Amino acid sequence: MEILKTAAAGTLESSDCLVTVEPGEGLHLDLSSSVMNQYGRQIKATVLSTLERLGVENASVTVVDKGALDCTLKARVECAVFRSNGTSASNIPWGGAVR
């Protein structure tokens, strides 16, 4: 998927994360987390694999994590990407690219 416009999803509440995607050249990830030392590597891997599944190759992605589980990270990244395309409201490929 192409990142057509800047979009965000999530919150800064505990157990959540705020993901922002912007149009860009190549993939840039800016990650900050309240549990960076323990889980930074895993969070990064989850975000990158989610972007890969969605076919996002060019984007600038900012993740501010407040201790989100993997399933929450995925949900927020996916929602932000679909929002950037204006396609987040219907016909989501549940179980396909979103899984």
Partner 1 sequence: MIVRPKPERFRLRRTMMFMNAQKPGLIKDAYIYGCDSIMLDLEDAVAENQKDAARFSLYHALTTIDYGSTEVIVRINGLDTPHWQEDIRVCVAGGADGIRIAKCESARDVHTVEAAVEKAEREFGVEVGRTLLMAALESPKGILNAYEICSASDRMFGVAISGGDFRKCMQTTFQPDGVDMLAARGQMLLAARAAGIQCFDTVFTNLDDEEGFRAEVLQNKAMGFDGKSLINPKQIRLVHQVFAPTEKEIRQAEKIVRAFEEQSRAGVGVFTVDGKMIDVAFIPGAKRTLKLAKACGMYEGDLA
Which residues sit at the interface with partner 1, rule CB under 8 A? Answer: 9-10, 13-16, 68-72, 74-76, 78-79, 82-83, 88-92, 94-95, 98-99
> 23, 59 in Cβ contact below 8 A?
yes
CA angle 7, 12, 16 (to 5 degrees): 90
Nearer to partner 1, 59 or 82 (CB): 82
Nearer to partner 1, 18 or 59 (CB): 18
As a 3-state breakdown, the chain gives helix, strand, coil percent values, each rounded to 5, of 35, 25, 40
CB of 24 to partner 1, least distance (A): 22
